[in-house]
Amino acid sequence: MTERVVVTGAQGFVGRHLVDRLLGRGDVEILGLGRSPDDRACFTHQLHRGHTRMRAPLPAEARARLAGERYRYRPLDLRDTAGLVRVLGEFAPTSIVHLAAALRDQPLGELLDSNVNAAASLLDALVGARLESCRVVLGSTGGVYGASDTQPLREDLRGAPVDLYSLTKQTSEDATRILAGRHGLRVVWARLFNLVGPGQEERHFFGRVAAQLTAIRAGLQAPELELGDLAATRDFVDVRDAADALWLLARHGEAGLAYNVASGRETRIADALALLIEVAALDVPVAVRAVARRVADVPRHVADIARIRALGFTPRIALADSARDVVAYYDALPPAPPSAPADAPIAIAVTARDDYAVEVSAGLVDRLPARLAADYPGRAIALITDSRVWELYGRAVVARAAGAIAPLIVPEGERSKSPERWLALIDELHRHRVDRRGLIVNLGGGLVIDLGGFVAASYLRGVDYVNVPTTLLAQHDAAIGGKVAVNAAWGTKNFLGAFHHPRAVWCDPHVLRTLPARDLAAGVAEAIKVALCGEPDLFQLLETRADQVRAAEPATLAELVRLAAARKAALLAPDPYEVDLRRVLNLGHTLGHALEVEHGHALRHGEAVAFGIAVATAVGVERGVCPRRDADRIFALLARYDLPPAITRDHAAGALRRLDDIRLARGNRLNFVIPTGVHAVRISPEVGDDELARAVDHVLARFGSAGVARTAGTAGTAGIG
């Protein structure tokens, strides 16, 4: 009889190996479920090839097996119980192996969501689909035992988890036990221990060390490893053995019992390291530096596997063979392109390096040292920040990293976005001996993001960097898109710059609580711009939840950042290097930049953009392309956030004069972006001086002018009367 198996988390490390083992059997049909889109080439995680980060590819044979008809995949959020009922009802599985889980460092809310709520939803869906007889294996972790004195760890022991991840796994076991009892479901729990195997994540020992050893062998990294406690012991089990164990449990596990999925062998980390060094066949000695332990790093564990052994399980793959396969996996990663015949034309392919994710998660800044250590192990890390953000957050981050992060602090304010400051930072990085594998972390507003990004783009021809933006403007705008720059000595904004995309963008809404009201409003201005560029939900949020936004309420700001960042990402996707200069995202910026320079940077970037948006809207009304009703909503929304600030007539006149320089730089076309409604814009190649002058007059009259300034602009003649 053909078995029909649902595997959740099917594109993760264990999921992929389980699917592969099942496809190798021939009598199984599989439906994979998970949050990520269908992908037949890679795991969901990334890994390093030297200092390049890439999606972890599936081994070629596994890829080939996925192509067959017996495997299907559907992206689905498991908490969507109704959706699950439908999918399970259609597929009618005979068994389910649930492997979808959160990452260890996620915040508690997300851990509970992915580890507890999703598992509960799965059991509810089984009842909803009338599939009570389906056998269920719920993936859990050996971490539930914590630092137990009893060794080997027996399944009838009550756990004492020491980190939040394992705590939520224990809670998941408890909650699903109650649900299974209530509905008479056939559930077993599989406590997976330390898995080892090809393609594994670098958060785990074997993956992390194999990545570094192969990088050392290729000369891409100094022969140095940073590791935790070498005397600790672990129960390592090969992922392919674990996959077989899961399948055994799906068919023969006794409902109601928890099973350890492990090898039952205790191995010292030092011995595992020696194995890896041996199979990596290095010809240089490797120095090992000890780093602080994580909470989850209990000194010792080994599992009692009597229960699963009684079902006929014996681990077949020796640890030395696992180590060999993990190293071989790295060796088989796509090689450099082969050299061409001597007379062939030389093709130069320039491609974007790879994708990066924008993460919005409360408390990320608190977790920054742990996150950096997990995602960028063994890298020299420099943190660039400004003086104010240093006092608020940077100092604590660096203190918690216990010497692993070098701080580089610049004075707050746009004046630091200068060529001199950029050069001084390059000098400091050099003094700190940051090499090409080094990582720069930009912690701050748009100033730090632009300046630090340009440093990262130019230092040693480009090093990796992560943006941790701390202003609203930077979170949904400046930190995304890879535009990095400093201003010219003569004042032109962003004159010296590059495109250099970050490796990741990590946004923490909590840090926005300390942001001055003026900076919050400046960030809202850019969000209004994005809303006008086709994001009605964002426009609505800004209109209806202005009080929460103004109070920097984290959940509302998190939603705002997500909506605005997603829209920006969608608009940038077809053109990551902004070849097309007529971008709609320039709305409010042409005049805004000129005004900012005119003010000698006393005006916030977002404030200047708000003025630009208001003027562009007035142009739209005057041209008859923006209905007055929509324009009034845009003006009212700006006013709700005290935008734009009062601008003097002289400053406005000076900004208009500067537009001629911009026209010149753009080949005599201004490419002015004009709103045509509350969520639509169009680009007009030109806009007349008189037309602009009238629009500026309208905005000055509507929002107030701050009186005539003492100094007028410096270039050309005024464009308005």
Ligand X SMILES: NC(=O)c1ccc[n+]([C@@H]2O[C@H](COP(=O)([O-])OP(=O)(O)OC[C@H]3O[C@@H](n4cnc5c(N)ncnc54)[C@H](O)[C@@H]3O)[C@@H](O)[C@H]2O)c1
Query: Which residues within the stretch 573-632 sit at the binding site for ligand X (CB under 6 A)?
Result: 604-606
- Residue whose beta carbon is closest to ligand X: 446
Contact 558, 362 (CB under 8 A): yes
Can residue 446 be called a binding residue for ligand X (CB under 6 A)? yes
163 vs 477 by CB, closer to ligand X: 477
Residue 429 beta carbon to ligand X: minimum distance, rounded to whole angstroms: 20
Q: How far is the CB of 141 from ligand X (least distance, A)?
A: 35
Say whether residue 474 binds ligand X (CB under 6 A). Answer: yes
For ligand X, the binding residues in 489-508 under the rule CB under 6 A are 493
Q: Select from 77-85, 476-484, 653-661, 676-684 the region that touches ligand X (CB under 6 A).
A: 476-484
d(CA 514, CA 527): 19
Q: What is the token pair recorded at 587?
A: 């709305």
In terms of Cβ atoms closer than 10 Å to its own Cβ (0-12, 13-18, 19+), residue 598 is buried
Q: By C-beta, is 57 or 645 nearer to ligand X? A: 645
470 binds ligand X (CB under 6 A): yes
Least distance (Å) from ligand X to the CB of residue 507? 11
Q: Does 245 bind ligand X (CB under 6 A)?
A: no
Q: Based on the shown chain and the rule CB under 6 A, indicate whether residue 478 belongs to the binding site for ligand X.
A: yes
* Closer residue to ligand X in complex, CB, 234/483: 483
Min dist. Cβ of residue 552 to ligand X (A): 10
Q: Convert 190-237 into a string of H (helix), E (strand) and C (coil).
A: EEECEEECCCCCCCCHHHHHHHHHHHHHCCCCCCEEEECCCCCEECEE
What is the layout of strands, in order, in the sheet containing 504-507? 358-360, 504-507, 464-469, 439-444, 381-386, 405-410
CB-side neighbour CA atoms (13 Å) of 92: 2
Looking at 545-677, list the stretches that DSSP marks H as alpha helix, in order from N- to C-terminal side: 546-550, 554-572, 589-598, 605-623, 628-640, 649-665
The nearest distance, CB 718 to ligand X, in angstroms, is: 25
Contacts with ligand X, 409-438, as mask; x by CB under 6 A: ---x-x--x---------------------
Tell me the C-alpha to C-alpha distance, in Å, between residue 455 and each of 38, 476, 491: 37, 21, 19
Residue whose CB is less far from ligand X, 600 or 716: 600
Place of tokens 């005979």: 94
According to CB under 6 A, which one of 235, 238, 519, 559 is a site residue for ligand X? 519
CB of 125 to ligand X, least distance (A): 41
Kindly determine how many residues on this chain lie close enough to bind ligand X according to the rule CB under 6 A: 31
Does residue 152 have a cis bond before it (omega within 30 degrees)?
yes
CA distance 195 to 319: 11
Stretch that binds ligand X, among 48-56, 351-359, 472-480, 498-506 (CB under 6 A): 472-480
Closest separation in Å from C-beta 669 to ligand X: 22
Q: Minimum distance from CB of 650 to ligand X (Å)? A: 23
Tokens of 546: 């202005």
Tell me how far, at minimum, the Cβ of 196 lies from ligand X, in Å: 41
DSSP, collapsed to helix, strand or coil, labels residue 389 as: helix
Nearer to ligand X, 161 or 592 (CB): 592
By CB atoms closer than 10 A (0-12, 13-18, 19+), residue 431 is: exposed
Binding range to ligand X, per CB under 6 A, among 469-477, 543-551, 622-630, 638-646: 469-477
Least Å distance, CB 667 to ligand X, is 22
Nearer to ligand X, 392 or 429 (CB): 392
* Total residues belonging to the chain: 721
Q: C-alpha distances in angstroms, 171 versus 154, 155, 168, 228?
A: 18, 16, 5, 28
**With binding defined as CB under 6 A, does residue 525 bind ligand X?**
no
Rounded to whole angstroms, the Cα distance separating 647 from 165 reads 52
The span from the CA of 197 to the CA of 56, in Å, is 13
What mask of x and - would describe binding to ligand X in positions 366 to 395, judged by CB under 6 A? --------------------x-xx--x---
Q: Does residue 450 touch ligand X according to CB under 6 A?
A: yes
Kindly provide the b/e burial profile for residues 467-485, where b requires at least 16 CB atoms within 10 angstroms of the residue's own CB: bbbbbbbbbbbbbbbbbbb
| H/E run at residue 242 | helix 239-252
Contacting residues toward ligand X, per CB under 6 A: 386, 388-389, 392, 412, 414, 417, 444-448, 450, 470-471, 473-474, 477-478, 481, 483, 493, 511-512, 514-515, 519, 522, 604-606
